[in-house]
Structure 1
Amino acid sequence: MSHLLVLNKDEDTLSVVDLDTKQVIKTVPTSHNPHELVITPDGKKTYIACSLGNTIDIFDNQTLEITGHITHEQFDFPHGLDVTRDGRKLYLASTFSALLYIIDVESDTVEDVIPTHQTYSHMISFDPDQEKVYVPNIGSQNISVFDTATKEFTAVIPTGKGPEGIGVHPRGHHLYVANQDDDTLYVIDINTHEILFKRRIGHVPVRLVFSPDGKYALTANRESNDVSVILTEQRINETVRPWEIKRIPVGLWAGGIVFSPDGGYAYVANNKTNDISLIDMNTLKETERIDVGIHPDGIAYLK
C-alpha cells in the first residue's frame, strides 16, 4: 500500500492520502505552518519543517501520529531538509537565520549549526555521493556548496535571480537550479561550476525534481500554474542538451512535486486549488486531482 503525505500550510495539518482509493484517510494536526518534509530511508518516520512555528515535527509513519519535536533557539523559518542515505543525519536550511543544521536522526538532537553567510538560505540538495550539499540562497542570487566531510562551505556559485528549486542529476554531473525571479533554469557543471545552459521556463519556478531514472526534470511554476517538463538529454542534430519539451497545466500555484518510485507518476501540490495533480509520465498529461487541505505544498511518497 502506498500513500502521499501532504502538508497543508494554511491549516497546520498533514493529509495522508491512500493512492489506491485516491482519498484522504487521515488528517493530522501539526505545528504552525508546515512547509517541507522528508521521510527517513527506513520509512519509519517523517521530519516536517514547520516554518512559522520554528519547529521540526517528528511523524511516526506506522501510527500516523506526531511523536516529538525538534527546536533550536536559532531556528528562524526552518525550511528545506533531507536525510542522508544511511539514515543517520538530517540536514536542514533555516531561511531567515541563514544557517545549515546537521541533526542526529537517532537522538533527534542538533549536532552542528553552520552559518551560510548568505541571504535567505532556503532549500538543500545532496549530490548522489552525498559528499556535497547545495544550498540556494534566494536573496544572494547564488548557491552555497557545503563539504559534508570537512563540514565547511567551500564555494559559492552565482545563479539567476531568486534561486529556489534545486537538484543534482542522478548521474551527478549537473546541478539544476530554478530561478523564480527571472523564470529561468540554469544547468551547472558541478565540478567546474560553469553555467552550461540557460533555459526560459514557466513563471515563478519554485520547485525542481528529477525522475528516478534522470530522464526528466520537472519544475513547478507557481504563477503560470503549470509544470515544465525538461528532457535532460534531448538528442537532435547530433547535439545533446537539456530542453523543455512540454508545459503541463495543473492547479493554481503549483508547489511541491514528488515522483512515484517507479517514475510512472508525478504528484504536484496545488497551493490555491487545495488539491494534488496526478501526472502520467508516459503520456505527460494530468489524469486527475485529489482534494486535500488548505494550501498544500510539501509532499512525499510513503511506500
Structure 2
Amino acid sequence: MKNLKKIVLFFGLIFLSLVTFYFIKQPSYSIQTEGTLYVVNKTSQSITIFDLFEGNQIKELSLDIEPHEATVVNNPNRIVVTNYGSPDAAGKSITIINAENNTIVKKIDLGKSLRPHGIITLPEANKVGVVTDIGNHLSIVNIETGVLEKQIATQQDFSHLLVHHPKKPLIYVSNINSGSVSVIDIELDSVVKIIPFNNKAEGIDITPDGSELWVTNIEGNFISVIDTETNQITDRIHTGKTPLRLKFSVDGSYCLVSNASDGTVSVFDRKTKKQLTSIMIPGKKNILEKVLYRTPRPVGILMHPNGKYAFVSNYTAGRVEVIDMRNFTIVSSIKVGDMPDGLAFIN
C-alpha cells in the first residue's frame, strides 16, 4: 500500500511539473513595436490579426476555404489572401479583406487556374500578381474592379511562389516540379527566360537593389544565387534540410532561410554568402520539449519594415516566432491558429 502511494505521488509530481512547465512555456509576447500582423492559418481556415504594439489578438477572421499566402495593398489598406483549398477541393479565388475594420470585402475568381498559392503586390495601383499550382499561370488581378486582367502561362509545372524586380517589369516565378524559375515580362506578357535547376525550386526572393535572385532547392538543400542581369547561376549556398522559404532583411545585408525539416532558421551574409548563425526553434532539444512545443517546422518569413524584427510561422506548433534582427535571437512568440503559413503586415 505504501509503495502504491509512493508511485502515485511520484507520477503525480511528474504530471504537476509537466503541467507547470507547459503553462510557463506557452507563447509569450514581450516586445512592443508598431503595426498589425496578419497570419494565415491553413487548417484553421482563418486569419489571426495581432496588434504588435498592444501585444494582443484583435480578431480571428474565418474563411470558407483553406488559405495559404497573403499580401498587402495600400491606399486604402487591404489584405489579399490566396484561397488554395483542401486536399479534396481545389480553390480558385483570392479574398480581399478591408484592414480598417477587418471584414471580408469580396472574392475574385481566377477562372480555370486552380490552387492559387504565391501572391505579391504590384507597383500599379490596386493590382496583385498570383501564381497557381494547377494551371501554372501568373494572373494579374485588379482588386478594386474585381477583374482578372490577364493570365500568362509560366510554361512550367507547379508554379508556387514569385517576386517582382524592384526596377524592371519582371516577375520571377519558382516552379517546384520543373525545378526552374520562369522570368516573365509583364509589359510583353510573356516568358522571356526559363532558368533551370537540378532540384525542386521553391523559396524565392530578390535583393532590394534587384541585382541578385536567391532560390531554395528543397531536395538538394541549397540556395542558388542568380545574377539578374545575365540570368546565370553564380553561387550555390548549402542550407539546412528542406529550405522552404527565404527572405532578405530590409537593408539587404542578410538573408533568413527557414529549414523546415531541421526546425532552424539560417542567417546568411548576403555579400560573403557565408552562414552567420543558425537559430534553433524551440521543440527539438529533447523529448520533453517535443511534447510541450511540438516538433517545430518553420515556414513563412516576414520582415518588419523597421528592420528590427523578423516573423517566422512555426507550422506545427501554431505559433509565430519573433526574431530580433540585431542579435538573431528569438525574443517573443505569438499563439495563432492551426498550421500558420503566410504572413502580412499593416503599419
Q: TM-score range by the shorter chain?
A: over 0.9
Task: From 278, 281, 289, give the equivalent of 1:250.
Answer: 281
Contact kept? 1:128, 1:171, Cα under 8 Å: yes
> Within 2, Cα distance between the matches of 1:95 and 1:265?
31
> Within 2, Cα distance between the matches of 1:142 and 1:61?
35
Q: Does 1:295 align with 2:328?
A: no
Q: Does 1:38 align with 2:71?
A: yes
> Within 2, Cα distance between the matches of 1:42 and 1:265?
24
Question: Is the helix fraction higher in 1 or 2?
Answer: 2
Tell me, what secondary structure is at the counterpart of 2:134? coil
Q: Does 1:15 align with 2:48?
A: yes
Provide the residue aligned with 2:131 in structure 1.
Answer: 93
**How far is 1:160 from its partner?**
4.2
Tell me, what secondary structure is at the counterpart of 1:203? coil
> Within 1, Cα distance between the matches of 2:202 and 2:117?
11
Contact kept? 2:77, 2:346, Cα under 8 Å: no
Task: Report the AA paired with residue 165 of structure 1.
Answer: G
Instruction: String of CA shifts for 1:92-111, please: whole Å, max 9, x gaps.
Output: 10111111101123212101
Task: Report the AA paired with residue 10 of structure 1.
Answer: T
> Within 2, Cα distance between the matches of 1:173 and 1:143?
16
Provide the residue aligned with 1:278 in structure 2.
Answer: 322
Task: From 118, 127, 145, give the equivalent of 1:107.
Answer: 145
Contact kept? 1:55, 1:69, Cα under 8 Å: yes
Contact kept? 1:41, 1:85, Cα under 8 Å: no
Contact kept? 1:232, 1:242, Cα under 8 Å: yes
> Within 2, Cα distance between the matches of 1:242 and 1:31?
42
Question: Is the strand fraction higher in 1 or 2?
Answer: 1
Provide the residue aligned with 1:260 in structure 2.
Answer: 304
Q: Does 1:125 align with 2:163?
A: yes
Provide the residue aligned with 1:59 in structure 2.
Answer: 97
Instruction: String of CA shifts for 1:93-147, please: whole Å, max 9, x gaps.
Output: 0111111101123212101111112110011101111411000110001100001
**How far is 1:151 from its partner?**
1.0
Q: Does 1:186 align with 2:230?
A: no
Instruction: String of CA shifts for 1:39-59, please: whole Å, max 9, x gaps.
Output: 013351111001013221110
Contact kept? 1:76, 1:94, Cα under 8 Å: yes
- Unmatched tracts of structure 2, length 5 or more: 1-33, 86-90, 283-295
- Residues 1:43 and 1:177: Cα distance change in structure 2 (over 3 Å): farther
**How far is 1:192 from its partner?**
1.1
Tell me, what secondary structure is at the counterpart of 1:51? strand
Q: Does 1:222 align with 2:260?
A: yes
Q: Does 1:196 align with 2:234?
A: yes
Say which is worse superposed, 37-46 or 171-180, in terms of deviation. Answer: 37-46
- Residues 1:191 and 1:77: Cα distance change in structure 2 (over 3 Å): same
After superposition, residues 135-150 of structure 1 pair within 5 angstroms as 135-150=173-188
Contact kept? 2:66, 2:84, Cα under 8 Å: yes
Q: TM-score, normalised by structure 1?
A: 0.94
> Within 1, Cα distance between the matches of 2:69 and 2:176?
16
Instruction: String of CA shifts for 1:241-266, please: whole Å, max 9, x gaps.
Output: 22211111125111111111111000
Task: From 150, 163, 175, give the equivalent of 2:201.
Answer: 163
Provide the residue aligned with 1:236 in structure 2.
Answer: none
Contact kept? 1:165, 1:208, Cα under 8 Å: yes
Task: List 4+ stretches of structure 1 deviating above 6 A.
Answer: none
Q: TM-score, normalised by structure 2?
A: 0.83
> Within 2, Cα distance between the matches of 1:218 and 1:288?
17
Instruction: String of CA shifts for 1:181-230, please: whole Å, max 9, x gaps.
Output: 11101111111122111011011111111111101111111111111111
Tell me, what secondary structure is at the counterpart of 1:117? coil
- Unmatched tracts of structure 1, length 5 or more: 234-240
Provide the residue aligned with 1:238 in structure 2.
Answer: none
Task: Report the AA paired with residue 306 of structure 2.
Answer: D
Provide the residue aligned with 2:20 in structure 1.
Answer: none
